[in-house]
Chain A
């Protein structure tokens, strides 16, 4: 069978890939979008939390993708000290199944050819500079390839990148949907400590109507075969005894520096595949929406009408990412490196001092400044990390 030929091939139809395909297709480029699964957005491998401002900025006014409004968060220390942060930025729990499905449909509606149940097994650059994407049944050709294959980031390795994560740079997660009438529907709860979630945290994110996303991530260096699931089952037993548990799934969250370079010849990395994730929270949807759109627009602009590619223009994708979120993401990595060195006693001490603060005056920046002002040595160490 002759290879199908496109301007831009997008591998992976999560939020980053779909946004890229959607925006490139809107500029009338010939775009194909691949996903291994028959249906995107399921199972949801995500806590689904997002800050409202970045959601609106990158997704647009898509309130139909929000599920539940969050008005405060609570941090629970290893010994059980609860710190309420009452003054958080407006946040929501998303409906990822709906959002991911809608984004793919919109990309197709804009003109992208959608190939579901199509795993791309290999990509190679041919003599004329175009890319050959192979799936078990078919070969596709494209001038530009946007790689959005998530935590795996396997495709990039055929194109000169080494994206294999060290164990310290990945959180291994298990999560589920829980129905439990006693869950406070306006509060996100985070649990830290070496017993609950070594090198990570456990979360309860309410979706409304007694439902919640419950999960945890543990750092790869603390993981052993099946440990994430064991920790989750223990956590459910202790914190939500008798809850009805559905959709028990797992996944990995990269907690690494964003991949450099983001662009190599005509190939662009986006989303989890590019390790565009906040290393402290594990949040990545906002980065993916932003980077996906930016990569799609840049690729479309770099694509000449005669099939030629302006490779220098493609580099703008990396520059824009760097200016907007790159430094913030780098700081989150430095902070993660620091947090990994702390122990339960330290977390309890911080929690004890923060618990004395009035909840309504507590916000995230305050947690950081209070932590550092009460621990001058820490501030010095942090300054070194950020310097």
Chain B
């Protein structure tokens, strides 16, 4: 399982980063970056996103960085 970002829905507010227990999320100037090596798929970021930009996908072959 990996956390996936829908960039069109993301408002770059950083709330997901505030609840991430493994520091797997990072906002750069243009977009949110997910470090799948650090992510433990706890889903807190998915649940907290006010705009529903994050989801958990059953896709083990997904690329590590979504930008």
Closest to B44 in A: A167
Binds B, one of A1-9, A70-78, A102-110, A220-228: A220-228
B11: nearest residue on chain A (CB-CB)?
A: A250
Name which residue of chain B comes closest to A164, CB basis: B21
Closest to A153 in B: B18
- CB contact between B47 and one of A36, A165, A225 (< 8 Å): that residue: A225
The CA of A117 and the CA of B13, in the complex, are separated in Å by: 15
B19 touches A150 (CB 8 A): no
B33 nearest CB neighbor, chain A only: A121
Q: Are the CB atoms of A37 and B29 closer together than 8 Å?
A: yes
Task: Assess the B15–A252 pair: CB atoms within 8 A.
Answer: yes
**Interface assignment of A286: CB less than 8 Å from any CB of chain B:** no
- Bound complex: CA A254 to CA B15 (Å): 9
Given contacts A121-B28, A152-B27, 15 further A-B contacts (CB under 8 A): A38-B29, A117-B29, A121-B26, A136-B28, A150-B14, A164-B23, A167-B48, A220-B19, A224-B47, A225-B54, A226-B9, A226-B49, A226-B52, A252-B15, A252-B48
Separation of A150 and B13 alpha carbons in the complex (Å)? 10
Q: How far is the CA of A167 from the CA of B21 in the complex (A)?
A: 11
Residues from chain A with Cβ under 8 Å of B28 in the complex: 36, 119, 121, 136
CA distance A119 to B53 in the complex (A): 21
B15 touching A170 by the CB < 8 A rule?
yes
Q: Contact partner of A252 among B18, B29, B54, CB < 8 A?
A: B18
Please state if B17 and A152 are interface contacts (CB–CB under 8 Å).
yes
CA A282 – CA B52 in complex, angstroms? 22
A154 at the interface (CB under 8 A from B): yes
Inter-subunit contact B20/A164 (CB<8 Å): yes
A-B contact pairs, 5 of them (CB 8 A): A119-B28, A151-B17, A154-B25, A164-B20, A220-B19
CB <8 Å contact, A252 and B51: no
**A174–B21 alpha-carbon span in the complex (Å):** 23
Q: A38-B29, A157-B23, A223-B47 are in contact. Are A252 and B55 (CB under 8 A)?
A: no
- Contact of A151 with B14 in the complex, beta carbons under 8 Å: yes
**Chain A residues near B21 (CB, 8 Å)?**
164
Mark A residues whose CB is within 8 Å of B: 36-38, 43, 45, 117, 119, 121, 136, 150-154, 157, 163-167, 170, 172-174, 220, 223-229, 249-252, 254
B18 touches A170 (CB 8 A): yes
Known: A165-B18, A167-B19, A252-B18. A220 touches B47 (CB 8 A): yes
How many angstroms from the CA of A249 to the CA of B9 in the assembled complex?
10
User: Does the CB pair B18–A254 fall under 8 Å?
Assistant: yes
For A117, the closest partner residue in chain B by CB is B29
Which one of A136, A150, A220, A249 lies within 8 Å of B48 (CB-CB)?
Answer: A220
Look across to chain B and name the residue whose beta carbon is closest to the beta carbon of A224.
B47
CA gap between A249 and B54 in the complex, in Å: 16
Q: Give complex CA distance A225, B56 in Å.
A: 10
Contacts known (A164-B20, A164-B21); A174 close to B50, Cβ less than 8 A: yes
Q: Which residues of B contact A38 (CB under 8 A)?
A: 29
